[in-house]
Structure 1
Amino acid sequence: MPATIDQATRTAVTARITTHVKRGWPRLGTPLVRFRGQFCYVDAVLPGHRQPQPILRLRYQGSADRWDIGIYLASDEHYTESELPTSFGPKTGTPEQGIDHTFILYAGPGTQH
C-alpha cells in the first residue's frame, strides 16, 4: 500500500466528497477534507456547532474507490474502523459510502440522492 495518496487522487476524492455531502446533507455545508499519509479526514459543521467536527477517516487501499471506513468517536476522541455498526454496511467502500455510513450517525438521515 502506498504510504501517501497521490495528488490526482486527493483532488478527485475531495471533489467527490464535497459533492456528495452537499447533495446528501446540504444543511451541513461544505465539508473540510484533508489528507495525511494514507488517510483522508472529513469534518463537517454539525447542528448545534459553529466549528467543523471530526466525523470520518478513510484509509487508502490503493484505489480512489476503495477505502477502509473509520468513524470518529467523540467520547474517546479517536477514529476507529471497528466501531462502525455492521448494519450500516461494509467497513470498506467508496468515499461516498463512507459518508453515507458515518454522517447518518452524526447528522441524521440525508436527503434522497
Structure 2
Amino acid sequence: MASPPESTKVSLRQRLLARIRERWPQLATVKVRHHGAFAYVTGELPDGTVLPLFRLRYHGSATTWGFAIYRASHDDYENSILPSGHPSGTPQEALDCACRLYLNDITAWRQPPTN
C-alpha cells in the first residue's frame, strides 16, 4: 500500500489531538511519524516523558487504519484487535485502546449502555 497523501497525514494528527483534548488530559500532545504506509504514534506527558503507543497502517482511507499496539516488553509493534473486535478502525479508537493500557485508566474500558 502506498503512503498516505499529505492531507491524510494532517487529518490524522488533527483527529488524534482532538481526541486527547476530549478524553486524555494526561497527555500533553501526540506525535506522529510516518514511514511508508505506517504512522507511528507516541504520546507525550506533561513532564516530557515520551510513550510509544501504537502504529497505524494506511489502507487508502483517512478514517480507517490497521492497528498494532506497541509492546514495551519487546520494544516492537504487534498487529492487534481493537475493543470493537476489528483489526482496523478509526485513529481515535486506536488512541483510546493504547491509552487505556499505557495510562492505566480502567474507567476507559467501560462501554456506554446501548438502547
TM range (shorter): 0.7 to 0.9
Q: Partner of 1:72 in structure 2?
A: 70
Percent identity of paired positions between Structure 1 and Structure 2? 34
**Contact residue 32 and residue 52 of structure 1 kept, 8 A:** no
- TM-score scaled by length of structure 2: 0.81
Deviation at 1:46, TM superposition (A): 5.0
1:56-67 counterparts in 2 under 5 A?
Answer: 56-67=54-65
The 2-side partners of 1:102 and 1:27 are apart by: 13
Deviation at 1:107, TM superposition (A): 0.7
The 2-side partners of 1:22 and 1:40 are apart by: 20
Structure 1 counterpart SS, 2:41? strand
Deviation at 1:28, TM superposition (A): 1.2
The 1-side partners of 2:65 and 2:58 are apart by: 5
- TM-score scaled by length of structure 1: 0.83
Which structure 1 residue ranges, 5 or more long, are not aligned?
none
Q: Partner of 2:29 in structure 1?
A: 30
Q: Which amino acid aligns with 2:28?
A: G
The 1-side partners of 2:79 and 2:66 are apart by: 7
The 1-side partners of 2:66 and 2:99 are apart by: 15
Q: Which amino acid aligns with 2:57?
A: R
Q: 1:102 aligns with which of 98, 101, 108?
A: 98
Deviation at 1:79, TM superposition (A): 0.4
User: Once superposed, what is the RMSD of the aligned Cα atoms?
Assistant: 1.9
Which structure 2 residue ranges, 5 or more long, are not aligned?
109-115
Q: Partner of 1:93 in structure 2?
A: 89
The 2-side partners of 1:30 and 1:46 are apart by: 7
**Contact residue 46 and residue 107 of structure 1 kept, 8 A:** no
Bigger relative CO (Cα 8 Å, ≥ 6 apart): 1
Regions of 4+ moved over 2 Å:
none
